[in-house]
Structures are given as structure tokens and as C-alpha cells.
Amino acid sequence: MTTLREIKDITICESTAELLTKGRADSVSTVFDRADDIKPCPIGAQQACCKHCYMGPCRLSTKAPYEKVGVCGATIDVFQARGFGRAVAAGTAAHSDHGREMAELFLSVAKGENTDYQIRDTKKVYTMAGYLGIATEGREFNDIAVEVGEACLALFSQQHGHIKFLERAPKKTFQRWADLGILPRGVDREVVEMMHRTTMGVDQDYKNIVLGSARCALADGWGGSMVSTGLSDALFGTPSPVTAEVDLGVLDEKRVNIVVNGHEPHVLDMIVRMSEDPAMIAKAKALGAEGINVVGMCCSGNEQLVRRGLNHAGNFVMADAAIITGIVDAIMVDVQCIMMGLSTISKCYHTKFVTTNYRCKVEGAEHVEFNGEHGAMETGKKLVELAIDNYKNRDKAKIKAPSKKEKMVGGFSHEAINYMLGGSFRGSYNPLNENIINGKIRGVVGVVGCNNPRVKHDWVHVELVKELLKNDILVVQTGCSALALAKLGFMQPEAAEKYCGPGLREVCAAVGIPPVLHSGACVDNSRILEAVCEMVAAGGLGNELADLPIAGAAPEYMSEKAIAIGHYFVASGALVAFGVTFPYTPNTKFADYIFNEIENDLGGKWAFEPDPYAMAKLIIDHIDKKREALGINVAKERVLFDMEARRQL
Ligand code: NFS
């Protein structure tokens, strides 16, 4: 019998704790309990296992002096690099297959073949055309849009030359990539090449594999993800500040509740639109409900939160808790971060678990295929009806409706940041740069990524961000991490007063922004690339991305996608710190390369640190080092709070 953690050790999120307690009383198993039940394989966890051929799998000792090698003679450094490269390829594939879906959808709309969606942000299409070198003078908008869509789609299978969006980077950063020979070609080509290079008997130089992985990761960040963000903005609107409510309390006992858990914004968009149809509302009312309530969960929810202020139920590990409420009439999923356990747990309640994408079917789930290009509206209606019909099956004895929810302001695209800081007539990044130069803002850090049930849910995110804010570091967020902070009120302008050092507090008050900016889903980390390019362009902070006092962190990550994102930030010149665990063996050449030496090649580097306070310290040290190199470091005390001070806070 496994001993399960006490709920207080599992999460700091009150509503999650409340529902997990009920889940245990209901005898259902959640992702947290399964994490207690299955210990990670210690050899796999250190990437000291290679299973890419059938002379093995070979497992090496994780203790120095690492003399043992695989049957083919491969060293532990090659083992680690291969595993790393494959994670980057898988993550890149995931973001990019999603990006391609957006490109195909956009193209069908631009061509006038699909009237279920519209292009809502024409300005974005012109901007994209500019980056892609597509002429716009004197041309019909639709012709431009079709060409933009085709160019974006072609970028996936591009065989020669680099992805055009890379030219948005500062010249020096671009030159670094060119000199290293890692300017990526099309996304598909880079993913295929990385899979090839990591098969048995191909690339057996760990540095060459890691640099090859950088090429693949760059194709993700500056290719697939950038296409996804750009075209989704064109279709659904570029985010600008908007209010919403987050946490499980957004579920409403009196209405039909639909939770959409996934990554395809057009699926959620259609379900929301169909739920607003008076005929649908009438149908729900006829069954005794007061209406229909659609909320997001994880990333497509993040996209619709920052674009239209859609309420959001929480990060992906909270999906079990949502079902345990007994008031979720349907949970609809598309692709990515969908736990198979949801199928099992939904059967313990009345919840319908519905898959909608041919790529992601789950045993035991009902499948209603959603095709954005054909009959999206019809399918959207069908999905909403299915939830309405299930409302009558609620089991009153199993209901526990959570009440906790928090208000937030989100929607900080790089365009919105530009506007907020500079105003509509002189929108620019100059004010941000000035505040960094004068030291009111010490640096900017992207705190992103998943939750991982092996650590206390949300706690690492929140403690890290608190430390950064106290030290005048502006925080930009995406993905599940953003929900951790939003649920605790960090995304309200008032949070600046409560959590920030004096400099950051002053800037936030003057501009009227929260100190933690929500920028969208994980694919929207490409927005952070855009923002940091603008920072270099605005001047005064160096000539390449690696000069900036910035960093990235994914303190509770769990996905291969996070590794791909981390690596494109490293390849773009940032320090990237990961928590929980990292697939490496300490004191090997591979470890030394990715954590140190790689900085000479790429300008950025990796760090692994599970403790949020130590992570904050290493990030702040890095930022101070960059400030010093820029000659803008005014001596500043680092505020390190002791336990007592933390408790008071
Ligand atoms: Ni990102 Fe979205 Fe969340 Fe992690 Fe999964 S939902 S794309 S991978 S778990 S942040």
C-alpha cells in the first residue's frame, strides 16, 4: 500500500485541496495520488538509459567515473544528449503541429472557403505580411491574407534557407546562429533531422547533438509557435488588457458547465459562441438550468482568457478536481496535456468526457470529431447540446460546488505592453528600457510552464515569483504557471503594492499594470521573443538578446514541450532555469556543457534548481551580471526574506 501525501502537502490551492479531499472520500484516484504510487525510474530520470536500438535498452551507472558504455560504445554524454534532442523534437512537433492547424484554418478562412470563422484582426495580417516580405501596397486584403497563410503553411515544409521570422531577431543574435550553422530550415525538416540524428549510429558527439537540438528548438519558437500565435491573433484578436475570473469557483452550480481542456483556440471559440446561441440557452433553461457556462482549463483557455476575458478554471492538474465537483456536465478535450485518467474519473461522476480531435482519442471517451474547416458550427452546437442533455444526470449526493475565484487582468501581448507603456500615439519600449536602465526595474523574467504533481502544486511558481517581485523584477507569464499566480491575486494592479520592491511598485502604479503579466498559452512564449527583440531595438540594453537582463523559468514543468521552449530561449541568449527534476546525470560532460559552456556558443544557458529561493537567487545573480556588463548596475541590496518575514507577507 502506498502512503499518499496529506492534502496540505499536495497543493497550496484552496479549491484544489477542497476537491481532492472530497475525491479521497469518494475513493477516486487523481494525478497526485498516482504520482505517490509510481516512483520515477532513477536511471531514466537521469537520462542514463538509451533505448533507441534493440541491442539494448542499455542502462548505465549514474555514479562517476562513468566508465561503462552502451553495447555500441556510446557514452553517458551521448545517452543524455540523445534523450534531450528527442524531447526537443517532440516538443517542437507538438507546438508546430498545432501551428500548422492554425495556418490551415486561417487559409481556409482567407480563401473564403470557411465562413464559420472570420479574420478579426486585419492589422495583424499586415504585420505578418511585413515580416514575411509579402507586398501589400495597392493589393486586396484577401489576396494578402491568402499569401500570408500560404507562406506560413510553407514554412513547415521549407527545405532550404532559414525561417523568415528569425530575421526579427537582433542582427548580432542572428549572426551567432548563422556562424554556428544552426539557422533552422522548415520545422518538419528540423524535427525529422533530430529524430534521424538521435537514432542508433548517427550523431555521437554530445555537443553536436545539443546544438542540433538548438536548431530544432529555434524552428519551434521562431517558426511553429510564432505562426500559431500570429495567425491565432489574426483569427481571434490580438490580446489587450481584459478582466476575467479564475479558479474552480468559476464553475456555476446553477448552470450547465462545460470545461474545455486543451490547446486549440478555435474549438473553444466555437463552443463559447454556440453556448451563447439563444436557442441553446432556452434548451438549457427548459431543463431547469439558469444558462450555460463555458470555462477554460490549461492553454486554449489561456488563449481565450487573454483575448476575450473568458473565465478560467485552472491549470491542467486541476482537471480531476473540476470533475470531482460533480457539476461539470461535460469536459471537452482536443490535443495536448489531456490526462487519460480523466476518462476514468469522469465515469465516477456524471461528467461526459468528450474527445474532439482525430489525433487524440482516449479509451472510454465519447468521440465527436471537430473539424475547424468543415462544419465547425454544426459540431460546436452538437457539443454544447451534449453537455445540456447531460445536466439532468447530475447526482445531487455527489455535488460540492467550490466558491473560490479571483479577479485578474490579463492580455499582455507585446503590442499591448508597447501601448500601455508608451500610450497610443507614442507606443514604444523606451519607457520600459529607461526604467530598466535607471534601475527601477531590475530585469524581466518569464515564469512559465506546467505543474508537476511531484511537487507541491503552485507553490514553487508562487514562491519564485514573490522573490522576483520583491527584487523589482517584472514577471511575464504564460501557460499553467500563469494560473497559479492569477488564482492568488497577483494579476491585479493592487498586487504591486503588496508584493513589489519600491522601484517596480512605482512603475506599476504609474502605468496601472499588475506586476505579473499574463501573455497567453505556451505557444505564446513567442510573444516573449517578440518583446525582448523590441527591448534590444529600443536601445540602451546591448546589441543582442544575450545582453539583456532577462531570464526564463519553468519551476514546475513536466512536458517535453517545456524542454523545447527552454532550449529555444537558451539558443536565443537567455538563462533558463527549470525546477522539479532535469533529465541529466550530474558531473558529466553533457551536464557541464548545457549548464556552463554552452553560453559561449549560444549566449544563453540552462540551470536546474528545484528550490524556488535558490532559483530566484541564481536568476537575480544572472540579471545583476548582465546589468554590470551593460554598465547600468546601481548597487542594490538583494532582499532575502527569512521565514518570519515570508509568513508575514
Ligand atoms: Ni504548456 Fe499547455 Fe500546462 Fe504545461 Fe500543458 S497545458 S502548452 S505543457 S501543462 S503549461
Identify whether 57 is preceded by a cis peptide bond (ω within 30 of 0).
yes
User: Do 216 and 287 sit in the same domain of this protein?
Assistant: no
Separation between Cα atoms, residue 265 and residue 106, nearest integer Å: 12
In angstroms, the CA 432 to CA 305 distance is 25
Same domain, 186 and 285: no
Residue matched to cell numbers 510552464 = 449
User: What is the pLDDT at residue 646?
Assistant: 60
Which pLDDT does position 555 carry in this prediction? Answer: 98
Cβ-based burial of 279 (10 A; exposed 0-12, middle 13-18, buried ≥19): exposed
Torsion, CA 190, CA 193, CA 194, CA 198, rounded to 10: 180
Q: Has residue 16 been placed in a domain?
A: no
Is position 81 within any domain?
Answer: yes
CA 450 to chain centre: 7
Q: Is 307 exposed, middle or buried (0-12, 13-18, 19+ CB in 10 A)?
A: buried
Distance 481 CA to ligand 1 centre (A): 9
- Residue 269, classified by CB atoms within 10 Å of its CB into exposed (0-12), middle (13-18) or buried (19+), is buried
C-alpha grid cell for residue 312? 478560467
Spatial distance between the Cα atoms of 502 and 562, rounded to a whole number of angstroms: 32
Do 488 and 534 have their domain in common? Answer: yes
- Residues 508, 496 contacting (CB under 8 angstroms): yes
- What average pLDDT values come out for the chain (649 residues) when binned by 10 residues? 90 98 96 95 95 95 90 97 98 97 98 97 97 96 98 97 97 98 98 98 97 98 97 97 97 98 96 97 97 96 96 97 98 97 96 97 97 96 98 96 96 90 70 93 97 98 98 97 98 97 95 95 95 94 97 98 98 98 96 98 98 98 97 69 62
**Distance between CA 186 and CA 254 in Å, rounded?**
49
CA 392 to centroid of ligand 1, rounded, Å: 32
pTM of the model: 0.95
Q: What's residue 426's pLDDT?
A: 60
Domain interval for residue 561: 414-630
Indicate whether 243 belongs to any domain.
no
Residues 201 and 305 reside in one and the same domain:
no
Q: What distance in angstroms lies between residue 22's CA and the mean position of ligand 1's atoms?
A: 25
Q: Is the same domain home to 141 and 280?
A: no
- Number of folded domains that form the chain: 3
189 and 259 fall within a common domain: no
pLDDT at 429: 87
- Asked whether the beta carbons of 519 and 486 are under 8 A apart, the reply is no
pLDDT score at 579: 96
**Ligand 1, from 95, 305, 336, 560: best to mutate by most atoms within 8 Å of Cβ?**
336
Helix axes 225-236, 265-275, angle to 10 degrees: 20
Question: What's the pLDDT score for residue 457?
Answer: 98
SS3 of 355, please?
A: strand
Q: What is the pLDDT of residue 256?
A: 98
Tell me if 523 is assigned to some domain: yes
157 domain-assigned: yes
Pairing of strands 58-59, 49-50: antiparallel
Question: HEC states along 280-335?
Answer: HHHHHHHCCCCCEEEEEEHHHHHHHHHHHCCCECCCHHHHHHHHHCCCCCEEEECC
- Residue 90's CATH number: 1.20.1270.30
Kindly state the greatest CA–CA separation across the chain.
Answer: 72
Q: CB within 6 Å of ligand 1 — which residues?
A: 263, 298-299, 316, 336-337, 449-450, 479-480, 521-522, 559, 561
- Select from 22, 407, 383 the least CA-distant residue to 249: 407
The answer on 454 and 327 residing in a single domain is: no
**CATH code of the domain covering residue 483:** 3.40.50.2030
